[in-house]
A and B are shown apart, each in its own frame.
Chain A
Amino acid sequence: EVQLVQSGGGLVQPGRSLRLSCVASGFTFDDYAFHWVRQAPGKGLEWVAHINWNSGSIGYADSVKGRFTISRDNAKNSLYLQMNSLRAEDTALYYCTKDQRRRTTLVDFDCWGQGTLVTVSS
Protein backbone atom coordinates (compact mmCIF):
# COMPACT_ATOMS: atom_id res chain seq x y z
CA GLU A 1 0.00 0.00 0.00
CA VAL A 2 1.31 3.41 -0.97
CA GLN A 3 1.53 5.45 2.21
CA LEU A 4 2.98 8.67 3.60
CA VAL A 5 3.15 8.92 7.39
CA GLN A 6 3.93 12.28 8.92
CA SER A 7 5.38 13.24 12.30
CA GLY A 8 6.56 16.38 14.03
CA GLY A 9 4.48 19.49 14.46
CA GLY A 10 2.99 20.94 17.59
CA LEU A 11 2.87 24.23 19.45
CA VAL A 12 5.89 26.51 19.08
CA GLN A 13 6.62 30.12 20.01
CA PRO A 14 7.17 32.76 17.33
CA GLY A 15 10.76 32.87 16.16
CA ARG A 16 11.47 29.28 17.13
CA SER A 17 12.10 26.25 14.91
CA LEU A 18 10.36 22.98 14.14
CA ARG A 19 11.09 19.99 11.91
CA LEU A 20 8.46 17.94 10.11
CA SER A 21 9.08 14.43 8.81
CA CYS A 22 7.30 12.23 6.29
CA VAL A 23 8.12 8.53 5.81
CA ALA A 24 7.07 6.81 2.62
CA SER A 25 6.29 3.17 1.93
CA GLY A 26 4.80 1.03 -0.83
CA PHE A 27 6.69 2.55 -3.77
CA THR A 28 10.20 3.39 -4.97
CA PHE A 29 10.84 6.55 -2.99
CA ASP A 30 13.75 7.94 -5.01
CA ASP A 31 11.79 7.93 -8.28
CA TYR A 32 9.45 10.72 -7.19
CA ALA A 33 9.37 14.39 -6.37
CA PHE A 34 7.79 15.46 -3.10
CA HIS A 35 6.09 18.55 -1.80
CA TRP A 36 4.84 20.20 1.34
CA VAL A 37 1.41 21.81 1.12
CA ARG A 38 -0.23 23.63 4.02
CA GLN A 39 -3.73 24.66 4.95
CA ALA A 40 -4.40 27.41 7.47
CA PRO A 41 -7.47 26.86 9.67
CA GLY A 42 -10.60 27.24 7.56
CA LYS A 43 -8.61 28.22 4.47
CA GLY A 44 -7.55 26.69 1.16
CA LEU A 45 -4.45 24.82 0.06
CA GLU A 46 -1.09 26.57 -0.25
CA TRP A 47 1.94 24.92 -1.83
CA VAL A 48 5.02 25.44 0.37
CA ALA A 49 8.02 23.66 -1.18
CA HIS A 50 9.11 20.97 -3.58
CA ILE A 51 12.13 18.71 -4.02
CA ASN A 52 12.73 16.57 -7.05
CA TRP A 53 13.81 12.92 -7.07
CA ASN A 54 17.54 13.54 -6.60
CA SER A 55 17.38 16.86 -4.69
CA GLY A 56 18.69 18.60 -7.80
CA SER A 57 15.68 20.89 -8.05
CA ILE A 58 14.22 22.60 -5.00
CA GLY A 59 11.71 25.43 -4.80
CA TYR A 60 9.85 27.45 -2.19
CA ALA A 61 6.84 29.68 -1.95
CA ASP A 62 7.80 33.31 -1.44
CA SER A 63 6.07 33.23 1.95
CA VAL A 64 8.62 30.75 3.35
CA LYS A 65 11.72 31.38 1.26
CA GLY A 66 14.80 31.86 3.43
CA ARG A 67 13.09 30.40 6.50
CA PHE A 68 12.08 26.87 5.50
CA THR A 69 14.29 24.11 4.08
CA ILE A 70 13.03 20.99 2.36
CA SER A 71 15.24 17.92 2.20
CA ARG A 72 15.04 14.19 1.64
CA ASP A 73 16.99 11.08 2.61
CA ASN A 74 16.42 8.46 -0.07
CA ALA A 75 18.14 5.79 2.05
CA LYS A 76 15.50 6.31 4.74
CA ASN A 77 12.52 6.90 2.40
CA SER A 78 12.05 10.17 4.24
CA LEU A 79 11.14 13.76 3.49
CA TYR A 80 11.73 16.67 5.85
CA LEU A 81 10.75 20.29 6.32
CA GLN A 82 12.93 22.37 8.60
CA MET A 83 11.00 25.47 9.63
CA ASN A 84 12.94 28.34 11.21
CA SER A 85 11.91 31.80 12.36
CA LEU A 86 8.31 30.68 12.61
CA ARG A 87 5.54 33.26 12.50
CA ALA A 88 1.92 33.23 13.58
CA GLU A 89 0.90 33.13 9.92
CA ASP A 90 2.70 29.80 9.52
CA THR A 91 0.02 28.19 11.70
CA ALA A 92 -1.52 25.50 9.52
CA LEU A 93 -2.01 21.82 8.86
CA TYR A 94 1.01 20.68 6.86
CA TYR A 95 0.72 17.85 4.34
CA CYS A 96 3.47 15.98 2.53
CA THR A 97 2.51 14.78 -0.93
CA LYS A 98 4.17 13.19 -3.96
CA ASP A 99 4.04 13.72 -7.66
CA GLN A 100 2.05 11.07 -9.45
CA ARG A 101 4.57 10.36 -12.19
CA ARG A 102 8.17 9.24 -11.96
CA ARG A 103 10.88 11.84 -12.49
CA THR A 104 8.39 14.72 -12.87
CA THR A 105 7.94 17.73 -10.63
CA LEU A 106 4.91 19.86 -9.83
CA VAL A 107 2.44 18.12 -12.12
CA ASP A 108 -0.18 16.44 -9.94
CA PHE A 109 -0.16 14.89 -6.48
CA ASP A 110 -1.56 11.41 -6.00
CA CYS A 111 -0.70 10.46 -2.44
CA TRP A 112 -0.95 12.64 0.67
CA GLY A 113 0.13 12.23 4.25
CA GLN A 114 -2.37 12.51 7.07
CA GLY A 115 -1.31 16.06 7.88
CA THR A 116 0.40 17.47 10.93
CA LEU A 117 -0.68 20.61 12.77
CA VAL A 118 1.79 23.40 13.42
CA THR A 119 0.63 26.14 15.78
CA VAL A 120 2.80 29.22 16.23
CA SER A 121 1.77 31.14 19.29
CA SER A 122 3.25 32.65 22.42
Chain B
Amino acid sequence: EIVLTQSPATLSLSPGERATLSCRASQSVSTYLAWYQQKPGQAPRLLIYDGSNRATGVPASFSGSGSGTDFTLTISSLEPEDFAVYYCQHRSGFGQGTRLEIK
Protein backbone atom coordinates (compact mmCIF):
# COMPACT_ATOMS: atom_id res chain seq x y z
CA GLU B 1 0.00 0.00 0.00
CA ILE B 2 1.34 3.40 -1.01
CA VAL B 3 1.31 6.02 1.73
CA LEU B 4 0.99 9.70 0.87
CA THR B 5 2.54 12.24 3.23
CA GLN B 6 1.62 15.91 2.90
CA SER B 7 3.58 18.84 4.25
CA PRO B 8 3.26 21.14 5.95
CA ALA B 9 0.21 20.20 8.04
CA THR B 10 -0.72 23.87 8.26
CA LEU B 11 0.43 26.76 6.09
CA SER B 12 -0.23 30.33 7.18
CA LEU B 13 -0.03 32.92 4.41
CA SER B 14 -1.55 36.23 3.39
CA PRO B 15 -3.70 36.96 0.33
CA GLY B 16 -1.52 37.67 -2.67
CA GLU B 17 1.28 35.40 -1.49
CA ARG B 18 2.41 32.21 -3.21
CA ALA B 19 1.55 28.87 -1.64
CA THR B 20 3.55 25.70 -2.12
CA LEU B 21 2.11 22.43 -0.83
CA SER B 22 3.96 19.12 -0.94
CA CYS B 23 2.85 15.49 -1.28
CA ARG B 24 5.33 12.65 -1.05
CA ALA B 25 4.51 9.03 -1.97
CA SER B 26 6.16 6.08 -0.24
CA GLN B 27 6.91 4.60 -3.67
CA SER B 28 6.62 5.79 -7.24
CA VAL B 29 3.14 6.59 -8.52
CA SER B 30 4.39 7.84 -11.90
CA THR B 31 2.17 10.89 -12.54
CA TYR B 32 -1.00 9.29 -11.17
CA LEU B 33 -1.65 11.86 -8.49
CA ALA B 34 -4.61 14.17 -7.95
CA TRP B 35 -5.17 17.20 -5.74
CA TYR B 36 -8.47 18.23 -4.11
CA GLN B 37 -9.63 21.35 -2.32
CA GLN B 38 -12.15 21.14 0.51
CA LYS B 39 -13.80 24.14 2.08
CA PRO B 40 -15.72 23.93 5.39
CA GLY B 41 -19.10 22.28 4.95
CA GLN B 42 -18.42 21.36 1.33
CA ALA B 43 -17.48 18.22 -0.55
CA PRO B 44 -13.98 17.95 -1.96
CA ARG B 45 -13.35 19.45 -5.38
CA LEU B 46 -10.94 18.00 -7.94
CA LEU B 47 -8.27 20.58 -8.78
CA ILE B 48 -5.42 18.73 -10.49
CA TYR B 49 -5.20 15.27 -12.05
CA ASP B 50 -2.34 13.29 -13.55
CA GLY B 51 0.03 15.40 -11.49
CA SER B 52 -0.25 18.59 -13.54
CA ASN B 53 -3.55 18.84 -15.42
CA ARG B 54 -6.09 21.35 -14.17
CA ALA B 55 -9.64 20.07 -13.85
CA THR B 56 -12.51 21.85 -15.56
CA GLY B 57 -13.11 25.33 -14.22
CA VAL B 58 -9.99 25.48 -12.03
CA PRO B 59 -8.24 28.87 -12.20
CA ALA B 60 -4.84 29.13 -13.84
CA SER B 61 -3.42 30.29 -10.50
CA PHE B 62 -3.42 26.61 -9.48
CA SER B 63 -0.69 24.40 -10.88
CA GLY B 64 0.63 20.95 -10.13
CA SER B 65 4.02 19.42 -10.78
CA GLY B 66 6.04 16.35 -10.01
CA SER B 67 6.35 12.69 -10.84
CA GLY B 68 7.52 9.55 -9.14
CA THR B 69 7.37 10.22 -5.42
CA ASP B 70 7.43 14.02 -5.07
CA PHE B 71 4.60 16.33 -6.05
CA THR B 72 3.81 19.99 -5.52
CA LEU B 73 0.62 22.03 -5.68
CA THR B 74 1.31 25.72 -6.21
CA ILE B 75 -1.13 28.59 -5.89
CA SER B 76 0.59 31.53 -7.52
CA SER B 77 -1.28 34.35 -5.78
CA LEU B 78 -3.69 33.54 -2.98
CA GLU B 79 -7.25 34.77 -3.17
CA PRO B 80 -9.46 34.83 -0.04
CA GLU B 81 -11.46 31.87 -1.36
CA ASP B 82 -8.33 29.71 -1.68
CA PHE B 83 -7.98 29.26 2.06
CA ALA B 84 -9.11 25.68 2.60
CA VAL B 85 -7.79 22.17 3.18
CA TYR B 86 -5.96 20.44 0.33
CA TYR B 87 -5.58 16.69 -0.14
CA CYS B 88 -3.49 14.64 -2.53
CA GLN B 89 -4.75 11.25 -3.73
CA HIS B 90 -3.43 8.18 -5.48
CA ARG B 91 -5.85 5.32 -6.13
CA SER B 92 -7.48 4.44 -2.79
CA GLY B 93 -5.11 6.56 -0.71
CA PHE B 94 -5.40 10.15 0.44
CA GLY B 95 -2.80 12.28 2.13
CA GLN B 96 -3.66 13.61 5.57
CA GLY B 97 -4.25 17.11 4.20
CA THR B 98 -2.67 20.57 4.40
CA ARG B 99 -4.69 23.32 5.98
CA LEU B 100 -4.06 26.66 4.26
CA GLU B 101 -5.02 29.42 6.65
CA ILE B 102 -4.99 33.18 6.55
CA LYS B 103 -2.04 34.73 8.37
Identify the A interface with B (CB < 8 A).
Answer: 37, 44-47, 50, 59, 61, 95, 97, 100, 106-110, 112-115
Residues of B at the A interface (CB closer than 8 Å) are 32, 34, 36, 38, 43-46, 49-50, 55-56, 87, 89, 91-97
Contact indicator B96/A108 (Cβ below 8 Å): no
Knowing A109-B34, A110-B55 are in contact, say whether A44-B96 is a contact too (CB < 8 A).
yes
Residues B87 and A44 in contact, CB atoms below 8 Å apart: yes
A106 contacts which chain B residues (CB < 8 A)?
91-92
Task: Report the 9 A-B pairs with minimum CB-CB distance, sorted nearest first.
Answer: A112-B43, A108-B34, A108-B49, A47-B92, A45-B94, A106-B91, A44-B97, A110-B46, A44-B96
Assembly CA distance A9 to B45 (angstroms): 22
Let me know if A95 and B92 touch, CB within 8 A: no
Q: A44-B87, A47-B93, A59-B92 are in contact. Are A108 and B44 (CB under 8 A)?
A: no
Per the bound structure, the CA–CA distance linking A46 and B87 in Å amounts to: 11
Question: Which of A50, A108, A110, A115 gathers the greatest number of chain B CB atoms within 10 Å?
Answer: A108
* Chain B residues in 8 Å Cβ range of A114: 43
B42 vs chain A, min Cβ distance (A): 9
With the chains together, A115 CA to B41 CA distance in Å? 9
Bound together, the chains give a CA A37 to CA B34 distance in angstroms of 15
Q: Which chain A residue has the least Cβ–Cβ distance from B85?
A: A44
Q: Which of A45, A59, A61, A100 contacts B44 (CB 8 A)?
A: A45
How many angstroms between the C-alpha atoms of A7 and B95 in the bound complex? 27
Contact sample, A vs B, 21 pairs, CB 8 Å cutoff: A44-B87, A44-B94, A44-B97, A45-B44, A45-B87, A45-B89, A45-B94, A46-B94, A50-B92, A100-B46, A100-B55, A108-B46, A108-B50, A108-B89, A109-B36, A109-B46, A109-B89, A110-B46, A110-B49, A110-B55, A114-B43
